[in-house]
Chain A
Amino acid sequence: MLLEKRSDLDDALSSKVSVCVLLGAEDTKAGAVHGFLEPKTWGNLPWQTWFLVTDLLLLTEEEREEWFGADRDYVFLGRNSKVVTGSGLCEKDLLLKSGACYFGNVQRKFAQADLQ
Chain B
Amino acid sequence: MRAALPAALALALAACAPKPVYLRPSSAADGMVYYHEQDRLGDKHAISSEELDESGREPTRVPAPALIDIDSTLHLGIRPGGAAPDGEAPAAGGDELVAQKQALTDLMLKLDQLQGLTQKAVEAYLAKEEVLADLRIKEQAKKRIEFLDALEQRYPVNTETGDAVQAEIGVRGLEGVRPFLQVELDTIEARDDELRALAESRSSTLRIEAFLARDDANPVAVHVPGYDSLPEGKLVTRDRVGLDLSEDERAELVKQVEATSALAKTLETVRTKEKSIFEGVKEALDNVSPELAAKVREGEQLALSLTDEARLERVKSGFKSAAERAADDADALSESIRAQIRALPDALIASLKEDVGGVEAVLLLVAEGKALQDRWERLVESQDMSATLDLILATRTFAGDVSKAFESVPKWIRDAAKHTGEFLELEAAGISDEVVTAFENYLKSDEVTDLTKEVHLYYADVKRAAKLVKETLAVLDVGKLPVEGRVAPTVPEAFDVAFDELKDTSIDLGRVPSADGDILLVRTTLKQPGLDPQQSNAEFKITHYGWHARISPSVVLVRPDEVASGDDEYRFAPALGWMHHYRPRPEDSGFFADALRPLQPALGIHAIFLNFENETGIGLGGTLSFWNDRLQAGAGYNLSASSSDEGQVYYFIGSDLIGLLQTVGIGDNR
Chain A interfacial positions (CB closer than 8 Å to B): 16, 36, 39, 41-43, 45-47, 79-80, 96-98, 100-105, 107-108, 111-112, 114-115
Contacts and interface: CB of A to CB of B under 8 A. Distances in A.
A114 B137 contact: yes
Nearest to B145: A111
Nearest to A97: B158
B137 A79 contact: yes
Contacts of A100: 163, 166-167, 170
Contacts of B122: 45-46
Contacts of B152: 104
Interface of B: 118, 121-122, 125-126, 130, 133-134, 137-138, 140-142, 144-145, 148-149, 151-152, 157-158, 163, 165-167, 169-175
Given A41-B170, A108-B144, A115-B142, A46 B158 contact: no
A80 B135 CA distance: 12
Given A100-B166, A114-B141, A41 B173 contact: yes
Contacts of A112: 141, 145
A37 B103 CA distance: 30
A103 B166 contact: yes
The CB with the most chain B CB atoms within 10 A, among A36, A112, A114, is that of: A114
Contacts of A97: 158
A107 B137 contact: no
5 contacts: A16-B130, A36-B170, A43-B169, A79-B137, A104-B148
A14 to B, nearest CB: 14
A45 B140 CA distance: 11
Given A100-B166, A107-B148, A114-B138, A46 B174 contact: no
A97 B102 CA distance: 30
A46 B170 contact: no
A5 B11 CA distance: 126
B157 A102 contact: yes
> Which 5 pairs from chain A and chain B are nearest by CB?
A43-B173, A114-B141, A111-B141, A103-B169, A111-B144
B144 A96 contact: no
A105 B167 CA distance: 12
Contacts of A114: 137-138, 140-141
A39 B172 CA distance: 11
A96 B152 CA distance: 13
B171 A41 contact: yes
A101 B145 contact: no
Contacts of B126: 46
Nearest to B126: A46
The CB with the most chain A CB atoms within 10 A, among B148, B163, B166, B174, is that of: B166
Nearest to B164: A100
Contacts of A47: 125, 133, 137
Contacts of B165: 104
The CB with the most chain B CB atoms within 10 A, among A97, A100, A102, A103, is that of: A103
A16 B174 CA distance: 23
A104 B175 CA distance: 12
Given A46-B122, A47-B137, A79-B137, A102 B166 contact: yes
B166 A45 contact: no
A16 B128 CA distance: 11
A103 B163 contact: no
Contacts of A96: 157-158, 163, 166
A62 B8 CA distance: 128
